[in-house]
Chain A
Amino acid sequence: MRNTFSKTLYECAVADPSIYIVVADISPAGPMAEFQKHAPERFINVGVAEQVMIGMCAGLALKGCQPFAYTIATFSLYRPFEMVRDDLGYQNLPVTVVGMGAGVIYSTLGGTHHTMEDVAVASAIPNFRVLAPCDPLECIEATRWCARQKEGPVYLRIGKAGEPNLTAGAAPFVFGKLRYLQRGEDVCILTYGVITAKALELAKALAEQGKSVSVVSCHTVKPLDREGIIDALRRHKQIIVIEEHVPEGGLASRVKQIAWDIKADCDLHTFTLQDEFIHNYGSHDDLLAAHGIAVPKILAAVS
């Protein structure tokens, strides 16, 4: 997904001279390296200095530019948090903070490289929007949207490498709206980000049990499509939220809130990372499984 992001941003930046790419010591994948050659004055590597990355982006935006701050998620959002909040959120500037390799994708690097709370953190800041595309194709749409919007700051949460395309046949991407990857009548799986591949696996297993299953990419986590969630809650017997994020402040808690508000009478199951740090290693799947996010386990719990 990061290569797709880089390629898309490269294309946007070539077409729009107001786009600046400010990175913090992250290797520019192929297309971004090309952009560095194409417009070196609009590609800035601040080095290992994330506070000035965000502050500079704010300064650029205050002068009419459309900057992207790009590095590994924990360093783009957590390290310079007060700059993200004050310089971007408070001033409501059109800067996209890109969190690459979000969640526990950096599965062998330990907890310092995990972003398990980023959606809650970014969503809590007024004016911030949070986008989390589920596959490279959706990442193209999300990146293009970030590049053309002028309203305010965005946290763009993306994966890393090797994610399959899941949205080829889906309805078009619309900011702020749920996106159905498939439609069913019995069960609805709500999710976002790269973990959506797992939701589709689960949907397949449920279909084998004879259930008709919807799978939804909630790519716009903030502002969440409340009406869309209400519609999903009302039209399905069972809702399953799968989220690569701690239980607090993410999609699962929002859906529960909305379900309570409308007195929804469907079953509601949520599968999230636990409220604890991860000290074990292995593949991305291994880490998710350690926190209960594995298809067989979810299947057993919801069947």
Chain B
Amino acid sequence: MTALAAKNATNLSNAFDVAAARARCKRHRKRILEMTQSVSALHVGGAFSATEIVDCIYYGLMRPGAAGVVGKDAPDTFLMSKGHGYMIQAVILEDLGVLKRSDLAAYCTPTGKLGVHPDYGIPGIEASTGSLGHGLSLALGMAYAEMSRNRIGNVYTVLSDGEVQEGSTWEATLMASSLKVRNLIAFIDNNDMQSLGFTHVTHPSFYPVVDKFRAFGWDCVEVNGHDSLAIYNAVTSRKGDRPLMVNCKTTKGRGVSYMENVPMWHYRSPNKAEYEQAIREIDEAAE
């Protein structure tokens, strides 16, 4: 293990409060639902499948600088490769005080600065995404910039499973392991759904996922993507000098019964009755 890798490993060994994570994730989901009631909010399903992953990255894995985990002095970086998962990132950035409540209130409106996809220049947004297959290369470049200058920064990114079909994702996958960019930590929000149907139907050859990344020289583990502690442990218990891929098995629309695994919730906003039911289900779910 290089000195840099050892330093990273040491710094990642904080305890992770699972009960607090559960409470936060409920709050995040409810805040997203709240946004859907003021503006036609897209991509709720994909935000809900990535909720625990993104929460764990911001609250468990990223190390704080003087102003918290996001900001100039913060060593680590997160970018949302699956740009359509932006809502979960936006509500977390609001929770962290990086975005204001008024920013989210103006989501997708002419007076606001937040659109459906992350836009570089918005506070807390490290790269513009939305077109799939860009994020892993961007994250690789960032991670390599850190590594090659002997800095300690880790770069975290979340991909969709559909995004892994992009050839550019595999170009970056090959390059990351060839360069031994250990400080690149990627997650697949593997919810088995994309715009046109189930991934396992479109691409049965996509599976097993873990073997493919291992064959490309990555460390790759599979976890339940709604188990915050499992996500946290997958990253903090890693060894070796390879980039890490965490294949997170998730459910699209997780947490709201009528949304789970139903394709239209990729795009749709709930009406008032649906909204109230969704809030009730989230409130009543076990802590």
Contact A56 B120 (CB under 8 A): no
Contact B134 A55 (CB under 8 A): yes
Q: Which of B117-161 contact A (CB under 8 A)?
A: 120, 126-128, 131, 133-134, 136-146, 148
Contact B171 A46 (CB under 8 A): yes
Is A90 interfacial (CB 8 A cutoff)? Answer: yes
- Chain A residue numbers with a CB within 8 Å of B143 are 59
Pick out which of these stretches binds chain A: B41-49, B172-180, B236-244: B172-180
Contact A91 B145 (CB under 8 A): no
Rounded to whole angstroms, the CA-CA distance of A57 and B128 in the bound complex is: 14
Rounded to whole angstroms, the CA-CA distance of A47 and B131 in the bound complex is: 23
- Chain B residue numbers with a CB within 8 Å of A52 are 137, 140, 168, 171-172, 174-175
Rounded to whole angstroms, the CA-CA distance of A52 and B171 in the bound complex is: 6
Is A216 interfacial (CB 8 A cutoff)? Answer: no
Contact residue range for chain A?
20 to 34
Contact with B along A1-41 (1 / 0, CB 8 A): 00000000000000000001000000000000000000001
Rounded to whole angstroms, the CA-CA distance of A255 and B133 in the bound complex is: 38
Contact residue range for chain B?
20 to 34
Partner of B144, one of A56, A64, A83: A56
Contact A91 B128 (CB under 8 A): yes
Rounded to whole angstroms, the CA-CA distance of A47 and B144 in the bound complex is: 16
Partner of A60, one of B127, B128, B142: B142
- Chain B residue numbers with a CB within 8 Å of A64 are 145
- Chain A residue numbers with a CB within 8 Å of B126 are 62
Is A82 interfacial (CB 8 A cutoff)? Answer: yes
Contact B138 A58 (CB under 8 A): yes
Contact B179 A90 (CB under 8 A): no
Is A263 interfacial (CB 8 A cutoff)? Answer: no
- Chain A residue numbers with a CB within 8 Å of B138 are 55-56, 58-59, 62, 87
- Chain A CB within 10 Å — which of B137, B142, B171 has the most? B137
Distance of A61 from chain B, by nearest CB (Å): 8
Q: Is the interface of B mostly helix, strand, loop or mixed?
A: helix
Contact B144 A87 (CB under 8 A): no
Rounded to whole angstroms, the CA-CA distance of A225 and B140 in the bound complex is: 38
Contact A62 B141 (CB under 8 A): yes
Contact with B along A35-78 (1 / 0, CB 8 A): 00000011010110101101111111111110100000000000
Contact A65 B137 (CB under 8 A): no
Is B204 interfacial (CB 8 A cutoff)? Answer: no
Partner of B134, one of A42, A61, A63, A86: A86
Rounded to whole angstroms, the CA-CA distance of A44 and B168 in the bound complex is: 17
Partner of A46, one of B128, B148, B167, B175: B175
Known contacts A51-B167, A62-B138, A83-B137; A42/B148 CB under 8 A: yes
Rounded to whole angstroms, the CA-CA distance of A46 and B140 in the bound complex is: 12
Contact B175 A59 (CB under 8 A): no
Contact A56 B127 (CB under 8 A): no
Rounded to whole angstroms, the CA-CA distance of A169 and B235 in the bound complex is: 62
Distance of A127 from chain B, by nearest CB (Å): 12
Q: Which of A153-201 contact B (CB under 8 A)?
A: none
- Chain B residue numbers with a CB within 8 Å of A55 are 134, 136-138, 140-141, 168, 172
- Chain B residue numbers with a CB within 8 Å of A62 are 120, 126-127, 138, 141-142, 145
Contact A82 B141 (CB under 8 A): no
- Chain B residue numbers with a CB within 8 Å of A57 are 141
Rounded to whole angstroms, the CA-CA distance of A83 and B172 in the bound complex is: 13
List residues of A whose CB falls within 8 A of some B CB.
20, 41-42, 44, 46-47, 49, 51-52, 54-65, 67, 82-83, 86-87, 90-91
Task: Supply 16 A–B pairs (Cβ within 8 Å), ascending by A.
Answer: A20-B145, A42-B148, A52-B172, A52-B174, A52-B175, A55-B172, A56-B137, A59-B140, A60-B141, A60-B145, A62-B138, A63-B142, A63-B145, A64-B145, A90-B128, A91-B127
With A51-B168, A56-B144, A91-B128 known, 4 other A-B pairs at CB within 8 A are A52-B172, A52-B174, A60-B142, A62-B120
List residues of B whose CB falls within 8 A of some A CB.
120, 126-128, 131, 133-134, 136-146, 148, 167-168, 171-172, 174-175, 179
Shortest 4 CB-CB contacts between residues of A and residues of B: A59-B141, A55-B137, A63-B145, A56-B141
